[in-house]
Amino acid sequence: MRIAFTKMHGLGNDFVVLDARDAPIPEIDAVAAAAIADRHTGIGCDQLVLLEPSSMADFRMRIFNADGSEVEACGNATRAVGLLHGSAARIETLGGVIAASPAQTGIAVEMGHPRFVWDEIPLAYPMDTHAMPVAWEELADPIAVNVGNPHAIFFVPDTAAVDLARLGPEIENDQLFPERINVNVATIVSRQAIRLRVWERGAGLTRACGTGACATAIGAMRRGLVDRKVTVKLPGGALSIEWREDGEIVMTGPAAESFRGDFDAAAYGLFEFGTAG
């Protein structure tokens, strides 16, 4: 059996998208997701995205990191899937129902409302998430924000000077974060602009992280450092993030399709229905 896929990206954060909305495909587990995402022996991507029917929205989007872990949210993938769908859509995710629609500058996504309480992040024990009294070398006093998925944000003088490849995994896997964490290092450029690099939970350094941009913008707004609408500049390009007065986060930016193909299901341990196990 062959399974069709679409390779897509949002600012260089890349995805293998499998569309099972109309015709089911074999169940994707963590092992298969990691194998497909592998850049040496698989197709290669930061996240595997699986579209399925939904009873509460237009369709369901499941997201697997490159390490196989299934997660709640992915901003860039939501824009990519919005582009693939071609019109406005309500999308069920593990993080809640979100809405994507075509916009002048790409795809706009209503990402939901941010959460700040320690057990909503989640943290291992109670702590003020607005100014956390913790540090990993020069990375200190982060803000924690959950925008569907968990983020820690460190404001630093120069994002390029941070050894994120070394400190990122240390913080991601710290026992303070029982579900691990996405690690953001950000520099305030002006009241309308932020520079950002992200170590993603389960995927490592990526060219861009949409939820990281949302969480960082909200963290900077909470600290009074920027206005309620900002441009977040990532290595792969820029996103516009607005925190509306009604509490909704709106992320707007580009997405693109790279190519389409198909793969042999058995090569990833996926078997036709009724033949698995």
Task: Catalog residues that contact ligand LBFN2T5F under the rule CB under 6 A.
Answer: 13, 46-47, 65, 71, 74-76, 149, 182, 200-203, 206, 209-211
Amino acid present at 59: F
Catalytic residue among 209, 221, 232, 238: 209
Catalytic residue among 11, 74, 123, 239: 74
Whose tokens are 């994120």? That residue is 164
Question: Catalytic annotation on 45?
Answer: no
Distance from C-alpha of 116 to C-alpha of 1, rounded to nearest angstrom: 45
Count of C-beta atoms within a 10 Å radius of residue 277: 4
146 annotated among ligand-binding-site residues: no
CB of 213 to ligand LBFN2T5F, least distance (A): 8
Q: Would you say 26 or 253 has its CB closer to ligand LBFN2T5F? A: 253
Q: Is 192 helix (H, G, I), strand (E, B) or coil?
A: coil
- 30's enclosing H/E stretch is helix 30-37
201 annotated among ligand-binding-site residues: yes
Question: Catalytic annotation on 74?
Answer: yes
CB of 143 to ligand LBFN2T5F, least distance (A): 16
Q: Would you say 26 or 37 has its CB closer to ligand LBFN2T5F? A: 37
CB of 273 to ligand LBFN2T5F, least distance (A): 29
- 220's enclosing H/E stretch is helix 210-222
260 annotated among ligand-binding-site residues: no
Distance from C-alpha of 120 to C-alpha of 144, rounded to nearest angstrom: 10
CB of 264 to ligand LBFN2T5F, least distance (A): 27
Distance from C-alpha of 162 to C-alpha of 253, rounded to nearest angstrom: 26
Q: In the structure encoding, which two tokens stand for residue 138, read together?
A: 């020069």
173 annotated among ligand-binding-site residues: no
Task: Kindly give, in sequence order, each residue whose CB lies less than 8 Å from that of residue 202, ignoring residues fewer than 6 positions away.
Answer: 65, 66, 67, 68, 69, 71, 180
Can you say which residues are annotated as belonging to the binding site for substrate?
13, 47, 65, 75-76, 149, 182, 200-201, 210-211
Binding residues: 13, 47, 65, 75-76, 149, 182, 200-201, 210-211
Active site residues: 74, 209
